[in-house]
Structure 1
């Protein structure tokens, strides 16, 4: 098992607005990226999300924590996908930044 991928994206929206944008963004991503993978589990507990995603015949689990000043995604990629850690980090950072900065 590889070490966890941790991506933190800062914001100045306040926790409630950041949470709303993340939830809307996840809904849009499910549709936009359906050909590449699926969100098999999505469990919100306040500002904390536990999720499971399937992609490239692999399954991975992770969390998202929405804070007052940042949003942090943590997930451990299976060995097969760990070779794509840098691409995954870049994708998550770009996606999160767009969600938290665009109006």
Structure 2
């Protein structure tokens, strides 16, 4: 069955700026991972709904942007669950890069 992968990334940008940065950076971030294909990316306010494909497996989830953090939840099929820890670290690192306050 599907097990959710949850990643929470704190930030100090406020909801509006964090959403702006994530909208601009998510497509670029996904493009930097060769085995990842984005099938759907749809924003509704401060929530992103997405479907991705990796290793022939589809995964879907959502990203919520709050005033002080972003929270990603994605349901992983059993094959992709084997890579959950690696994905969690990669998502957190990429998210921190996108949401780090620049002087």
Give TM-score scaled by structure 2 length: 0.92
Query: Does residue 29 in structure 1 map to residue 29 in structure 2?
Result: yes
Which consecutive unaligned segments of at least 5 residues does structure 2 have? none
Aligned to 1:65: 64
Q: Residues 14-93 of structure 1: matches in 2 within 5 Å?
A: 14-33=14-33, 35-93=34-92
**2 CA distance for matches of 1:62 and 1:18?**
19
Aligned to 1:11: 11
- May I ask how many residue pairs the two structures share in their alignment? 102
How far residue 76 of structure 1 moved from its aligned partner, in angstroms, is: 1.2
**2 CA distance for matches of 1:95 and 1:29?**
7
- Residues 46-97 of structure 1, C-alpha deviation per residue, up to 9 Å, x if partnerless? 0001100011111100100000010000001110010111111101111111
Which consecutive unaligned segments of at least 5 residues does structure 1 have? none
Give TM-score scaled by structure 1 length: 0.92
